[in-house]
Structure 1
Amino acid sequence: MNNVGRMTTILKQILNSYKLLGECLSVTRVENMLQIHRFSSDIRNSSQTYNELYKYWYNRFISDDILEPEESAGYIFAHLFNKKTISLVPQSCMNNLIPHEKISYVNDLCVKRLKRMPIQYILGEWDFFGVNLKMKPPVFIPRPETEELVKHVLQCIKCRLNNHGSKNSPLKILEIGCGSGAITLSLLHNLKHENVKFVAIDATSHAVQLSKENSKLLNLDMLTKLQILHIECGVAKSILLEKFAPFDIIVSNPPYIPTSDMKNLPDEISMYEDNIALHGGNKGLDVIDGILELAKHMLTKNGSIWLEVDSSHSSIFRTSYADWMVESYKDLFDNFRFCHFRKSI
């Protein structure tokens, strides 16, 4: 029996027992893995230009129904030249033959994409609101919409700093569910010389660790302005945060996807990103309600809360949350995605 035959036998033997996030491997996926194996063997012994290999993978991504096939291939091949996008790579470079040692490397990256791994995890980094962040599964990947949330919060902070005057006490900002650190670190990057103090917390240790790694990479790990803490929930959260409270601003991109929508998530999300950072309970409000309850005790009298929410939540907040004055803002896709809460007078 040849190597491919042996591999087929082994994969079929484990098919009924091997699961990835609760979903069994399909025979189609087994066949795809075998095709990838055959292709990998073939190109190791052939001469390919970057452009030829790029076109192969671009077409392969299309045939395998990979989301954003052109962008996926483009980011991977741009990465080979230390560029952010394929448009920044000179065509003369793309026409060069690929060095033998790079063939396996680019092949491995593209195979990961065929397995639906998000491009951010494949590259191990991603740009967000002017900072470059290290990315690791299963920590939640920041989306373009969240950059808009940062814009709103940054404007709010600057306005409050202007009204804060020359007070000795810093403006204090709490982020709940910091993930990779995208929100807090991008804000602090823009406010390094301002009188501010950030506290960023997350319920998962791997997220806290990644936030700390990113703070060091960005030279933002300054204890006088930033604390990143692993705090799980409930009473422990309140006790640990009390020594930093009250906060002038609380910001969060919490889990807000309703239970009924979780089954509709693409494989890139459901297979790789932490469900804890996504699932918001029956109506998507479980964590949001917890944040608003905590804020009643942790927020200054004139404090603000900024949340990224599901598009269905805006109307609920306006009609059912009498303790709060709520303003809603649309994202770049014209959905009501951000809410600004202030205590009702």
Structure 2
Amino acid sequence: FETSGHLPHYADSMYPPMEMDDGTYYLKAMNCPMHHLVYSNKKRSYRDLPLRIAEYGTVYRNELSGTLTGLLRVRMLSMNDAHIYCTLDQVAQEFADNIRMVQDYYAAFGFEDYHFQLSLWDPEKSDKYIDQPENWAASENHLRQIMDDLGVPYIEAVGEAAFYGPKVDIQFTTLLGREESMSTIQLDFAAKGRFGLTYMDETGVENGEVFVIHRAPLSTHERFVAFLIEHWAGNFPTWLSPVQVQVITISEKHKRHAARVAEVLEQAGVRVRVDDSDSTIGRKIRLHRTLRPAYMVIIGDEESESGTVSIRERSGGQRNGVALDEFVADIFAEITNRSTELGIVPPE
């Protein structure tokens, strides 16, 4: 952490050190120093680049108690993190690929209301950053050109860069009106010098111009889930719903058909639960409406006798006497297509 620059520039967000018999230890607040050590563990060739190292792990940050907000800002974070080691000529392609990846992710999850922010250093506060003005200017201009070439609108924010380089942050506004960063893609020009990151070029000469792209395309697991819950208000599209189908029996004699329906759905990869309790059908429906499954399947006399299902969706649409195979095929297609709308039952 001393080598990476995190101790002088990021110590306030790290937990205090622990003194052990053989040295000083810190809870890991970020993955990048360890990934740099993995890269530098052996000689690298230009043929190895770009080299991408990914890790889904836990990091710890000493956030002030007043800044903790539900899942949006926590002290123990599950980070979907990666670092890309590349030459200057490869930066544009790798960075652009990551911008497109984020856009694809957001489209799949139904996110539309966000914007890109080019986060720059503040030369008036040079103590907060690696003090290399020429590298800052070149790196910031490089990212501007990448974003312009992609045709992606962005705003610039002075003083919001990482201490080791400029970055592109993807910003959302919460229901409370607070702007929060979700994903981030960062260009690091400092790690190569601090960790001695090199590669052997085409002529067999050792080259020290290794640039690092830090990326967290889905933020932390906690923050991303928080944005998902807020965005959908718990009414997740079918493919995202924790419970995609809730099967409900009207009485005890319908348990056998309910179990068969659940078995067929599970075999198709559908997340399904069965409520065959002794409670009244009205109470069951009211309870599970608050739990927001994508669909409720009601099993009564008619359904048990005919081998069909009656379907209710969150929006209030309802279909009775649907063949089980037809329902399974429809919901399987909806899940496979990652539709952001419930599409099996027409609204009433």
Higher RCO (CA-CA < 8 Å; seq separation 6+): 2
Which is richer in strand? 2
TM-score range, shorter chain: under 0.3
TM-score normalised to the size of structure 2? 0.25
Which is richer in helix? 1
TM-score normalised to the size of structure 1? 0.25
